[in-house]
Each structure stands twice: as C-alpha cells, then as structure tokens.
Structure 1
Amino acid sequence: MKHPVPNHLDHCYRGEHPVRTLGHLFRPDRGALLLATCIFVVKHSPIWLMPLITATVLDVVIQHGPQAELWQATGILLFILVINYPLHQWYVRLLGGSIRRMGTALRSALCRRLQHLSIGYHARVNSSVLQTKVVRDVESVEQMVQQSSDMGLGALVTLTGGLVVIGIRTPEFLPVFLVVVPAAGLLVMRLRHRLRTHNEHFRREVEHFSSQVGEMTTLIPITRAHGLERAALGRVDGSLRQVLAAGLRLDVMNGRFNSAAWVMLNILGVLCLTGSGLVAYHGLLPVTPGDVVMLSTFFTVLTGSVTTLLGLAPIISKGLESVRSIGEVLQAPDLESNEGKAPVERVTGRIDFQQAGFAYDDAPPAVDAFTLTARPGETIALVGASGAGKSTVLNLLIGFIRPTTGSILLDGVDMATLDLRSYRRFLSVVPQESILFEGSIRDNVTYGLDGIDEERLRRALRDANALEFVEGLPDGLDTVVGERGARLSGGQKQRLAIARALIRDPRILVLDEATSALDNRSEALVQQALARLVHGRTVFVVAHRLSTIQGADRIIVMERGRVTEAGTHAELLSKGGTYAELQPATHS
C-alpha cells in the first residue's frame, strides 16, 4: 500500500509539543500501527504468561493435582510460542514500513522547506547544520520510534500483563507491586529536565562541529597552498574537544540515571520477594508455593520492564530533541512569499526599478532610491567599488530579496504581486564561479529540464564554445565532472554554465562577474559565448573588466547604493567623472 508524502507537512509544525508532531507524522499509518500493536501483544504474551504457567505446573506437581491442567498449560504456551515467528514477521513489516514512510515524509518536508526558505536564511544558517538536520536528526527520530516500539511496547505489555495476573491470582500483593511504577515515574520526572538540557547542548555542539568540518573541506586548497594545515586542524580539534566534553557529560548523566533506577527497583524487588516468602512461610495469606515462585519471577520480569522503560528516557529525550531541531527549520518564518500570487506566463524583458531600496536589518540601505528602466533586449552594466550595491541590485532582480522601499516592475507588473518561482523560468544566471554537481555534463547542462534532445544540447554546447572540449573527453556528454566540477578547468566550467543558460533560452540574463576568474585565453572563449548568449535578451551584467562592459547599451555607475552616472562607455569617458576614474581598475 503506497502512502504519498503529504505536501502540507512543512506547515504543520507550529511550536507544538514534539509528541503531537510525531502523532501528525504517523497519522496516515494509524491503522497499520494499531494492527502492529495488537499483533505485538499476542506475540509477546509468553513473557508474562510464563510465570503464571510455571506456578500452575509447580502447584500441580506439589499438590498432585489433575494432570490435565499440566498438559493444558503446556499446550497453551507451546501454541503461543509457535505462532510467534509469523506474527513477528508481520509486526516488523507493519511497523518498519510506517517508520520508513515517516522518515521519508520528514526528509521530504525538510527539503521542500529548504527550497522555500529565503536566500537570506541560507546565508545565515550553515549548510552543514542543515544537512545534519535532514540526515542525522531524522535518523535519530526513526531510531527513537523503533526502539520505543520494540523495547518500550514490550515492557508495557509485560508490565500490564503481569499486574493483571497478580491482581487476579494474588490481589493482596498488587499494591506492593504498584509501588515500583510511581517510584520510577518520580525518578523520570526529576531527571528528565536535566537530560533534555544535556541532549540539546550536545546536539548544538555536534552541529557546530559539522559546520567546522564543512568549512575545513571547502578551504583545503587554500589551507594546503599556504601551509596552514596545523591552524585548520587546531580549529577542528577545538570543536572536537567541545563535542567530547558535551558527550561525556551526557554519558555521565545517562549513566547516573540508569544506575540509580536499577538499584532502586531491585532493592524493592528483593524486599517484596522476602516479604512474600515470609507470608507464605507463616501462612498469613493463602499463598501457594507456586504463587511465591510466580511473584519472585514477576518481580524480576517487571523490574526489568520498568528499568527498560527508564532506560528509554535518554533515547526518547534525544529523539524529541531531534524533532525540535527539525522544527527549527519547519517553523522558520523566513519564507519566500509566493503562495496565492499570480504566475508569470510570458516575459518580454522590460524591467523598471522605481525608487527601489533595500536595507539588511538595521544597517544603512545597501540600495537607496534606485531608479532604472531596462528595455527588452537591452544590456545594462553595473559598475562601482566594492559595497556600492551592485550585488544587491542583482538579488532584487532575481527575487532573492524583496525591496524594502519602492518597487520593481516586470513588463509593467509589480513583482511583489508575482509568483517569483514562475518568473525564474524565464531568467538565467551565470555567476562568477560556475556551480556544478557531481553528475555527467549532460545532467549538469540540462538540469531541471525534461525532454531535451541531443541536437538541442549539442547546439547549446557549440554556442557556448564547449562542444569541442566535451567531445574530447573520454565519455563525451556522459563524462562525470566530479564534485563541484573538480575535473574541469575554470574556463570549461564557465562555458558549461553558459550552455546551461543558453539551453533555457531565457528572456532575462544575469551575468555576475562571469569572466573575472579566468585567464586571457579562457576569457576570450567565454566572451565569444557570452556574445551569442546576450543577443536579443535583457541583460544585467556586473564586471570589473573593461572588455566585458564596454559594449553594454548603458553603463550604470553606483556609489553607496545610488546611481551616480549613466550612459554608454564613450559618453561616460567623455564626462571624466567617476567611471573615467575607475578605468585603471577595470583594466586590471
């Protein structure tokens, strides 16, 4: 039976208790879980029936009772033992399927949420931390549910069955047995808060360490080039020591918890066993020798059940903390708002910035009163010193951020009213560093597109000046480029990025320092490809090199988030203003 992943899961977490969140996650499998529980009760019954049957057999032997009772008890027990195997397989299939579907739904919800969260959120939260939540935290939740079901359900069934048998056969001893449960509950209540605090602290230390490892692997080329291996290892070792200290504190706390619970419960068991023996010895109550053996066995079994339940407390605490960790993403409010807004069906390419401004939190505006009209097919170059606001303008254009003042119009329509996801189908970005994933050249160029024929793919690669080097690779289009395109040169990666943009035939194109990291030969090939790419499209380009911007229809000079000059290359040079002063920098 297939259970579709619910598309509303990422909206159901609203800071509620993690147990309620788990209940929501398992809602599609309620029937399967109920059936699994019933099966478990039957298959687990020998554990708590064994002391009763042992007492029955012992009394028959000592008192020379009817032999039929002995065979009857033995037959019942053998039947339950024999059917345990098929019942257990059925139980595992039902429970395991439910847990796996829950984990899949949770990971799917996290991945969807990560796609919907704003670029600002991803800039603030380390990617390694998010990976830990998707992989490690969901695994912790799965393990918690699995172990709680197997061990916790077994302990509860044994505890309940044992108390029922005692209540029926020797009700005088039931109150004594019931002392174990509230005593254990008190112990759990006293330690639960400290366990939760230690689990949360340990989880955050591991997330921080994961972040450090991610940074270390990213910086390995720089580290090796400058001989900074010792400094890099020193940073990681510092985080490792913090993880070690937090883990040891957590282990010590768990050890104290389990040891104190075990000692207390077994002391109670010894006292109760001695008491039942004395009662039977002096004939104070109608207790048979079989009852004494049964009570003794039940104390061992029930004490083990309560100890198991107490031992689950750290596992449950860790799992619930993982649910809270996942909830930090599922309830993150920093979403890109697209729901209910008009989809973009076609784009001609006219962009109007109308007094648009943007400020990051309480900082001064990165862009202030930015006004510009880009006509369809026009190429606009943005220049200026670092921090002038060029990248912020591009982020506003792409829709990664929304203007805090003013507005941006797409073909005369305010972009605040549009579904930016549909708008981006008509937009392509060629960044300074081409982002490739570990797959084939074919997969990277056609990423997200279906039904692309071979000729269209080859034409895009040819126009991007990439087909020649691709055909020279051992596997051609099916050559695996390695993680982040590690097996390709910078110029080759950039030409693949241009091919990726060409094959989408965008109406609006963003070039963000697309040639700044290339050598002269690679730049020449990329420039030829860019000339084909920009033809007939509205283009926004940020670059420092003169060769990239001098052919733009208009060059916009920015300072401190504002437009200070605008015109063609020749017009701005003739003015002798800020653009003319920037020329030595653009030639560098």
Structure 2
Amino acid sequence: MATHLLTAAGEPHSRTPASDVRAAQRTCSPLLRLLGYVGPHRNYAALTVCFGVLGFALSFVYPWIIGSAVDVIVAPPDPGFPLAARVAALLRLTELAALTAVGHALVVYGRGHFNTCLGYGIVADIRRELFDHLQKLSLLFFTRERTGAILARVVHDVHEAASLIYMGLIVAALDAVQLVIAVALLLSISWKLTLACLVLFPFYGLVFAVMNPRVQRASERMHGQLTRISGNLVEQLSGQALVKTYTAEQREAERFAEEVARHHGFVVAQSHEGHLVASFGEVLVHIGTTLVVGYGGWLALHGEMTAGTLTRFLGYLLIMFGPVRRFAELNIVHQTSISAIRRVFRVLEIQPSVVEPARPHAVAPRRGHVRFEAVSFRYSQDSDETRVRLDDDREAGTASAADDAPCVLDRVTLEACPGELIAVVGPSGAGKTTLLSLLPRLYDVTSGRLLIDGIDVRDYSLTALRAAIGIVQQESFIFTGTVRENIAYGRPGATDEEVEAAARAAHAHEFITGFSDGYDTRLGERGVNLSGGQRQRLSIARAILKDPRILILDEATSSLDAESEAIVQRALEVLMRSRTCFVIAHRLSTIRKADRIFVLDAGRVVESGSHHELLARNGAYTRLVRHQADVE
C-alpha cells in the first residue's frame, strides 16, 4: 500500500508520527516497556517494597533468636551466668520472637494488599490502553481476527503480562537483596562453610541456562492454544442457533474437547519443563543443607563454632536457599509473562491504516455533496492490520501479495448531489457495501479519491466526518441496555423528549410503550428479545436522532416480512427527507424512486441512470430486475 495518499491539491497526505513511535517501541525490551506502567502506581510499588524489605529483615531475626536460645540452653554451668539469668535471657528472646511474629503478620497484609493494588492497577491501565487502541484500528483488522482471539489478549494475556511485575520482578528484587544479606551473614559466621555451599550455585545457573528455552517454548505453545480455544468458544456460542438447527451439538462438543485436550497437553508439557528445573534446584538445596550438617558438624566438633552458631548458620542458609527455591517458580512466571507481554505489545504496535490527518478539517460536512473519483480498494493490503494474526502470532501477507490481490473496487467514479437519492445495485460480491463503507472511513481507499463537499474524506477529522453520516444496516446491532440508551447511542446527551420524537418518527413508539417498562425496558444481547422489524425501527430512530447529513441504507428491509417492511419503509421515508441518501437494495419498491442508480459488477460501475433509462438500455440492470421478478 502506498505510504502516502494524494489530497485534492495533489499533495501527499501527511500521517501522524505513530509509525515512528511504534518503531521505537519495537526496539525497546518488552520488560522495559512493561516497567513504564509502574510509574502511575509508584506509591503502591514503594509500599510493597518497604513491606517486602521489612519482611525479609524480620526473617533474619528468627535464626538469631533460635541460635541464641540454643547457646543459652546448652551453655555449661557458669557462676557468671546463673540459671536465673539464663531464664531471663530466654524470656527476652521469647518476647522478641512474639514481636517478630506480630511484625510478620503486618508484613503479610501490607505486602499482599499493596502488591495486589499495584498489579491490578497495571492490569487496568494496560487493558484500557489496549481497548482504546483496538477502537482506533480499522475494519480491516476486525474482518481478519476472531473475537475470541481479541478477547484473550484483553483479558487473559494482559493479566499474565502484569503478573511479572507484582509476582515476579518485585519478588525477584527482594529475593536478590535477601540473598546478598544472607551470604554476608553466612560469611561472617564461617567463610569456609559458606564457600562450600556457594560451590553449588554454578550448577544451578547451568540448569537454568539449559532448561529456560524449553520452558519458554512450552509457555508460548500453551498460551497460543488458549487463544485458539477462546476464539472457537466465542464463535461457537455466537452461532448457537445454527448449531442447534443442524444438530451439531455433539460434533461441536467433540471439537471443543479436542482443543481442550490439546491445551491440557501443552499445560502438562510446560509443567514438566518448569518443575524439572525446580526439581534440580531442590536437589541442590538439599545438598547444601547436607554440607552444612556434615562439614559444619565437623567444624563444631573441632571447636570452630558452637552449636548455637551452627544453628544460626543453618537458619541463614535456609533463608538464602528460599530465593533459590522461589527462583524456579518465578522462572515459570517470567517465561509465561514474557510470552504474554509480547502478544499484548504486538497488538499495541499495530499501526492503524485509518488515522487522523495531521491538520484535520474539524467542521462536519454540511451540504452532503459526495464524489467518488476513480476509487479502487482491496482488502489484502500490506499493513500492520493485515499482517498480524493473533491466533498464531505470525505475520500474514506481504507487500507483493497485496499488490497481486484482486481489487474489490476498481476505479469507481460516481457522484451524489446534495439531497439526492442514489441507489447502488448489483449481484452479491459486487462491492456495494464496501463502496459505501469508504464514506465514513471504515476503510481507506487504496487509490483514487473520495470527496465530500469538495474535501477528501482523509482530510476530515474522523469525529467531524462520522458525525455527518448515518448508517442503517440489514442486521441492526442492538446493545445490551435500555431502549432509551440504544436510541440515544449517537447522541448520549439527548433529552427524553428528543428520544421519544425520534422513536415516533421511526414508528417505534407504539411497540416501545407496549413494554412494561417502556423506554426503560432492558434489551438482551443483540436485541434477542425484539423482532427483526423492531430492531430495524430502533436503528432508524437512532439515525433520526443523530440527524446525519448523509445517510446509508444497506439492505435495510431485505430480511423483513411484508408487514414489517411496510412499517419500516414509512420510517425510512421520514429519515431520508432532505438528506443525501445511498441505498443498497434489491427490491424495486426501494430503488425505482432513486434519482440515479449505479450498477456495480465485479467492483466496477457498468451502468448508471434512472430506473426507466436503465430499463430502456436492456443491460445489466434489466437482467437484475428480471431475475428479481422471477424470484418473487
């Protein structure tokens, strides 16, 4: 696809520097990018770290208390340290242990609570950013991706990615400090015994170096399969009517079971690789403990340390091995999160193909004069939106493939003067819906220009452009919510009187007031508790309330019965008054009133004229009319 588009003046369209930003982000480590989300929640991060430091500091107190108690208990009789003094010392140590226990309780609450606030704050920020970014992508992206795959990114992958912060990095940082302090304390007790234990660490590092790539690959396979399951599940649930009609429940259940079994296999494989690393670490931990018991005991027998000192050393050693043990668990979290981070940022790096111009025209079109000038369009464009595939994280399509792809629209030229009714007809697949989808920039033209009031649509602010365009489709989308909210979707601040006036004009007021809650009646997902005609009339009321200058009717009555069509047609006549209207329809009752009719075939305008003019030519339009008559 060309890197620039021509304006009416022949100058290249300037693009926002989004591509430069995306390129810079791609060169940045995913982990560093993730850390950037900590900033707004630094207070929670600081509190988490403070409680974490307090927690591992308190953990060093217990070995000292136990070692000191052992020395007090096993100390030989000494007139300078009588029994009463030893009992008093034990009481002080017990009181200190009790205070330490209270401190641990505070630490558990503080670290857990503030860590959760930090982690889920990051999750919320990334989800908001991801959702906002998805709203900026054109329909090219959504026509290629399954809803379930997108859902998996927003819900599951974001959570997995953020877990690296509040379950990985902070814990790892605290563990690193704890490890250094533990080693320092061990060296202060016995450098010989400490060095004997530290000899094991290179072997531990070798295990991770060898096993980590396998853990990472297993994590990527597991989460890739989970994305596919999400996509299949949403698709299957959305098509329940079709599944039941074709009695395919068992077949779908078997297919889902196969996908789940495959995911289970990947989970088992990841668990095998991850816990294999943990098992090697556990062996090394116990070898270290064995060294302390054997070599430390030998040093104690030769008078180089006391029983209490050896006890303290063993306690500090267990503290040192705590991070080593957790490192294996953190490694699984790390590998899982890194895979999720890459998948989330991969979506955020997708550059929209439809973007705001550098200097947008902020005034909405007022006249409604539309002109297509040699407009061509193909879906297989070479862009981020077509290359990235969420199900398998592979790039799909290349520049050469895009250049060779057939045009859905091929050098289409047509004009609609203000207030005209223009019909676009043609066989299925001719490009009718695609053509009119270019008006609100749901897609951008591949070549040519599309002008509204003499201004290229790519020069308008998207908000200004789309504010002037209303669409009523064959399948009207109804949101979960009240009737009032659905009608006022294009104008959320509309008054109750304005909403009711729009409903009356759309011949919807009668059935709305028949509901027990009237305009406050809650509608199910996609308006499943409404008939097709009722959904269409709500959609028309929504368009009437928006009051667009340009109106697009895409097969708005084709799926209705005769009675519903008559009611909806009356509502459409109200909606079309004094607007520039584009109508896609097969039925003569709709298109014969058009000022001009354009016949599309294979993406090209093959005929244009009025109904009577086209019939007189006895061409493509006439064949369409005869075919409809035969069908009816």
Normalising by the smaller structure, the TM-score range is over 0.9
CA distance in 2, matches of 1:157, 1:180: 19
Mind listing any 5+ residue stretches in structure 1 that lack a counterpart?
1-6
Give identity over the alignment, percent.
31
5 Å-filtered alignment, 1:342-353, equals 342-347=360-365, 348-353=367-372
Q: Which residue of 2 aligns with 1:427?
A: 469
Q: TM-score, normalization: structure 2?
A: 0.86
CA distance in 2, matches of 1:546, 1:357: 28
Aligned mate of 1:275, from 288, 295, 313: 295
8 Å Cα contact 1:273-1:299 kept in structure 2: no
Q: C-alpha displacement at 1:457, in angstroms?
A: 0.5
Q: C-alpha displacement at 1:19, in angstroms?
A: 1.4
Q: Which residue of 1 aligns with 2:384?
A: none
Instruction: Give the secondary-structure state (helix, strand or coil) at the position aligned to 1:452.
Output: coil
Q: C-alpha displacement at 1:126, in angstroms?
A: 0.9
Q: Which residue of 1 aligns with 2:385?
A: none
Mind listing any 5+ residue stretches in structure 2 that lack a counterpart?
1-17, 380-401
5 Å-filtered alignment, 1:152-171, equals 152=172, 155-171=175-191
Instruction: Give the secondary-structure state (helix, strand or coil) at the position aligned to 1:25.
Output: coil
* C-alpha distance after superposition, 1:170-206 (max 9, x if no partner): 2333323333443333222221111111111111111
8 Å Cα contact 2:491-2:545 kept in structure 1: no
Distance 1:112 1:312, change over 3 A: same
Instruction: Give the secondary-structure state (helix, strand or coil) at the position aligned to 2:308.
Output: helix
Aligned mate of 1:20, from 25, 32, 44: 32
Q: C-alpha displacement at 1:262, in angstroms?
A: 1.2
State the AA in 2 paired with 1:455.
Answer: E
Distance 1:76 1:227, change over 3 A: closer
Distance 1:156 1:81, change over 3 A: farther
Aligned mate of 2:375, from 329, 334, 356: 356
Which stretch has the larger CA shift, 341-350 or 470-479?
Answer: 341-350
8 Å Cα contact 1:55-1:293 kept in structure 2: yes
Q: Is residue 132 from structure 1 mapped to residue 175 from structure 2 by the alignment?
A: no
Aligned mate of 2:72, from 60, 67, 72: 60
Q: C-alpha displacement at 1:548, in angstroms?
A: 1.7
Q: Is residue 514 from structure 1 mapped to residue 571 from structure 2 by the alignment?
A: no
* C-alpha distance after superposition, 1:13-58 (max 9, x if no partner): 4353221122111122334423431232113323222112222232
Matched length: 579
CA distance in 2, matches of 1:262, 1:200: 25
Aligned mate of 2:50, from 38, 53, 78: 38
Which stretch has the larger CA shift, 566-575 or 84-93?
Answer: 84-93
Instruction: Give the secondary-structure state (helix, strand or coil) at the position aligned to 2:438.
Output: helix
8 Å Cα contact 1:261-1:307 kept in structure 2: yes
Q: C-alpha displacement at 1:120, in angstroms?
A: 0.3
Distance 1:227 1:584, change over 3 A: farther
Q: C-alpha displacement at 1:278, in angstroms?
A: 1.2
Instruction: Give the secondary-structure state (helix, strand or coil) at the position aligned to 1:393.
Output: helix
Q: TM-score, normalization: structure 1?
A: 0.93
Q: Which residue of 2 aligns with 1:452?
A: 494
Q: C-alpha displacement at 1:463, in angstroms?
A: 0.9
Q: Which residue of 2 aligns with 1:3?
A: none
Q: Which residue of 1 aligns with 2:210?
A: 190
Q: Which residue of 2 aligns with 1:565?
A: 607
CA distance in 1, matches of 2:263, 2:569: 49
State the AA in 1 paired with 2:197.
Answer: F
Q: Which residue of 2 aligns with 1:416?
A: 458
Which stretch has the larger CA shift, 563-572 or 343-352?
Answer: 343-352
Aligned mate of 1:236, from 238, 243, 256: 256
CA distance in 2, matches of 1:400, 1:565: 26
8 Å Cα contact 1:170-1:291 kept in structure 2: no
Instruction: Give the secondary-structure state (helix, strand or coil) at the position aligned to 2:168.
Output: helix
Q: C-alpha displacement at 1:511, in angstroms?
A: 1.0
Q: C-alpha displacement at 1:455, in angstroms?
A: 1.1
5 Å-filtered alignment, 1:435-514, equals 435-514=477-556
Q: C-alpha displacement at 1:318, in angstroms?
A: 1.0
Q: Which residue of 1 aligns with 2:420?
A: 378
Aligned mate of 2:336, from 318, 341, 346: 318
CA distance in 2, matches of 1:185, 1:353: 65
Q: Which residue of 2 aligns with 1:113?
A: 133
8 Å Cα contact 1:36-1:91 kept in structure 2: yes
CA distance in 2, matches of 1:359, 1:469: 42
CA distance in 1, matches of 2:31, 2:423: 54
Aligned mate of 1:553, from 595, 617, 625: 595
State the AA in 1 paired with 2:557.
Answer: T
Q: C-alpha displacement at 1:98, in angstroms?
A: 2.1
CA distance in 1, matches of 2:44, 2:243: 53
8 Å Cα contact 2:424-2:583 kept in structure 1: yes
State the AA in 2 paired with 1:405.
Answer: S
8 Å Cα contact 2:357-2:459 kept in structure 1: no
Instruction: Give the secondary-structure state (helix, strand or coil) at the position aligned to 2:26.
Output: coil
Q: Which residue of 1 aligns with 2:247?
A: 227
Q: C-alpha displacement at 1:572, in angstroms?
A: 1.1
* C-alpha distance after superposition, 1:548-576 (max 9, x if no partner): 21111110011221111111112111221
Q: Which residue of 2 aligns with 1:146?
A: 166
State the AA in 1 paired with 2:73.
Answer: V
CA distance in 1, matches of 2:240, 2:508: 29
Q: Which residue of 2 aligns with 1:543?
A: 585
